[in-house]
Structure 1
Amino acid sequence: MLSRAARPALRAGAVSSARPVAPNAATFATLREIEDRLKSIRNIEKITNTMKIVASTKLTRAQRAMTESRKYGQTSNTVFENAETKAMEGEDKKTLIVVASSDKGLCGGIHSGLSKCVRRMLANDPKADLVILGEKCKAQLGRSNGKNIVLNFAGVGKDIPTFSDAQAVADQISMLPTDYGSIKIVYNKFINATAYEATPIEAFSEEAIANSPNFSAFEIDDEVLANLREYALSNSLFWALAEGHACEQSARRNAMDNASKNAGDMITKYQILFNRTRQAVITGELVEIITGAAASEE
């Protein structure tokens, strides 16, 4: 027979042994996991907010450069419109598609939109060649249309494009061995701060310019025709790169803004979950203390 003094201790031991230990351990582990997740999400929110501020600052400069670059491209287009220049067509004439993208991501679907537009153009003209500016579209188009790529450029989009950058690209395109009847530059056209559209513009060949119906009105000598063609190509490339850069900064700012808002929502949700879980742990510990005290008093 047990003594009367030993019975309360026996009851308390029986109660403690009946309670499972695993849930408490799992609860403490869950609290630590929730706390670590909160820290990581807060760090992500700081990064996305910083990237949003940087993109907003760069967007102002990019829009100013875009406005200035339009003067170059639109002036060339006005000349060709008045000369009624048209792309050369024929079975022996190939088309060159120049894709103006960049090396950087985290800017929404701005690069995938260009790739989709180029794939539609290649569906109509499978033999067309590709010149890709930037690693993003190169990676996307290389998987589906790698055999069409004849030239690609890296290091695009690190800073605001300049006419020298466009001229260097135009020099490399001019040295390609194929005589292209049509050169189409695909770029992101800036509509407003929240919208852009993949748009092709025509950069005419030397033969197409020479065969323009009203080109003689400009009184341009034949020996400078090649220089005019390369200069017009540089103008169009500069316009496309500058406008695409502005679209990229705008899209990155919007993407980082959305990411920051999503991170804030997740922080609120996990903070509530953390508070509820911690309250459940405190309540469980209080129940254990009260139960043990009550059992000890019996």
Structure 2
Amino acid sequence: MLSRTALFVPTCTQVRGMATLKEIRNRLKSVKNVQKITQSMKMVSAAKYARAERELKPSRPYGTGANVFYEKVDIEQDKEKPKHLVVTMGSDRGLCGAMNSNINKLLKNYVKDHADKEIKFITLGDKARQALYKTHSDYFMLTFANFGRQPATFADAADVAESIINSGYEFDVGEIHFNEFKSVVAYKLRPLPLHSLQSVSEADSLAVYDSLDAEVIRSYQEYQLASVLYACMKETNCCEHSARMTAMDSATKNAGEMIDKLTLTFNRTRQAVITRELIEIISGAAAL
């Protein structure tokens, strides 16, 4: 009798490869918490994006207007010259799509394509420094961080421009790379030429303007650089918030889909556990 009863002792061993109810419940709870966080970040980014977009339109003439003089003078850069300066605009924080990774990829490719040149980086946004400083530390000249926490002002751009001019690096070829805002879901990495004081002074068409002396050219150079940087900062700020808002919206939707799948798995597993326990109880009662 005892030996016969022992054959029907109910077991509670877990099937290999099958998650327990507790594991599924914990996973479901963590995904719901993540969804709340991404939802909150999306709302914050949406509010910041609305403000950044309002401030973007009046700031764009600063960049286009400041370059009119150089377009009239028709300054050409000789990229075969040895000294190159690359200024990039990124962000201090992540979770904003491919905005920062595109800049990091551009800097890496620039080093490969101009391996025989002396290259220096000036980065606005700490993400580029974090990603490349270990492998490209010799190329970094200046790094500016924490400028994107608050909406950029012309004073911020003037401080950056003054630091670049007072750095003492006499470059032959200069470029500014920033993300140009297109729409809520689209932005494009765009280059702008960065001219040194020497290249402007040596321009052939400059002789048309008789009243220009070295001091006037230097003053306009400082103002032009600050204006272009200001416009680029506004473009970058708007791209960052729109990209983060889009990324957090996608993350919230993905979390919702994962919650639905986990809920279905949890209900099926619970039903399977209940059914198995009923079978074990009935089998045990029948054995008695």
Fold conserved between structures, TM > 0.5: yes
1:216 Cα deviation from its structure 2 partner: 4.4
Residue of 124, 143, 155 corresponding to 2:113? 124
- Highest CA radius of gyration, 1 or 2? 1
Tell whether the 8 Å contact from 1:117 to 1:198 is kept in structure 2 after alignment: no
Q: Which amino acid in structure 2 is aligned with residue 238 of structure 1?
A: Y
* Unmatched 5+ stretches in structure 1: 1-6
Q: Which amino acid in structure 2 is aligned with residue 35 of structure 1?
A: R
1:89 Cα deviation from its structure 2 partner: 6.0
Q: Which amino acid in structure 1 is aligned with residue 43 of structure 2?
A: I
Please give the alpha-carbon distance, in whole angstroms, between the structure 1 residues aligned to 2:155 and 2:5.
84
Q: Identity across aligned pairs (percent)?
A: 36
Alignment of structure 1 residues 4-153 onto 2, 5 Å: 7=1, 10=2, 13-17=5-9, 19-23=10-14, 30-87=20-77, 91=81, 94-126=83-115, 127-153=118-144
Please give the alpha-carbon distance, in whole angstroms, between the structure 1 residues aligned to 2:205 and 2:250.
51
Q: Higher helix share goes to which structure?
A: 1
CA RMSD for the aligned pairs?
Answer: 2.2
Please state whether the residue corresponding to 2:146 is helix, strand or coil: coil
Q: Which amino acid in structure 2 is aligned with residue 229 of structure 1?
A: Q
1:258 has 2:247 as partner: no
Provide the residue aligned with 1:4 in structure 2: none
Q: Deviations over 1:239-258 (max 9, x none)?
A: 11110111111111111111
Tell whether the 8 Å contact from 1:87 to 1:205 is kept in structure 2 after alignment: no
1:132 Cα deviation from its structure 2 partner: 1.2
Deviating more after overlay: 115-124 vs 31-40:
115-124
Please give the alpha-carbon distance, in whole angstroms, between the structure 2 residues aligned to 1:163 and 1:41.
42
Q: Which amino acid in structure 1 is aligned with residue 91 of structure 2?
A: S
Please give the alpha-carbon distance, in whole angstroms, between the structure 2 residues aligned to 1:64 and 1:147.
39
Provide the residue aligned with 1:271 in structure 2: 263
Residue of 137, 148, 161 corresponding to 1:157? 148
Please give the alpha-carbon distance, in whole angstroms, between the structure 2 residues aligned to 1:125 and 1:26.
53
Q: 1:236 to 1:25 in 2, by over 3 A?
A: closer
What TM-score, normalized to structure 2?
A: 0.91
Please give the alpha-carbon distance, in whole angstroms, between the structure 2 residues aligned to 1:59 and 1:178.
36
Please give the alpha-carbon distance, in whole angstroms, between the structure 2 residues aligned to 1:100 and 1:24.
53
1:291 Cα deviation from its structure 2 partner: 2.3
Q: Which amino acid in structure 1 is aligned with residue 220 of structure 2?
A: L
Q: Deviations over 1:10-69 (max 9, x none)?
A: 47732433x433238997x71001000000000000110111111111111111222222
Tell whether the 8 Å contact from 2:21 to 2:269 is kept in structure 1 after alignment: yes
Tell whether the 8 Å contact from 1:128 to 1:148 is kept in structure 2 after alignment: yes
Please state whether the residue corresponding to 1:198 is helix, strand or coil: strand
* Unmatched 5+ stretches in structure 2: none
Provide the residue aligned with 2:206 in structure 1: 215
Tell whether the 8 Å contact from 1:24 to 1:281 is kept in structure 2 after alignment: no
Q: How many residues align?
A: 285
Q: 1:289 to 1:124 in 2, by over 3 A?
A: closer
Please state whether the residue corresponding to 1:23 is helix, strand or coil: coil
Deviating more after overlay: 112-121 vs 98-107:
112-121
Please give the alpha-carbon distance, in whole angstroms, between the structure 2 residues aligned to 1:31 and 1:199.
51
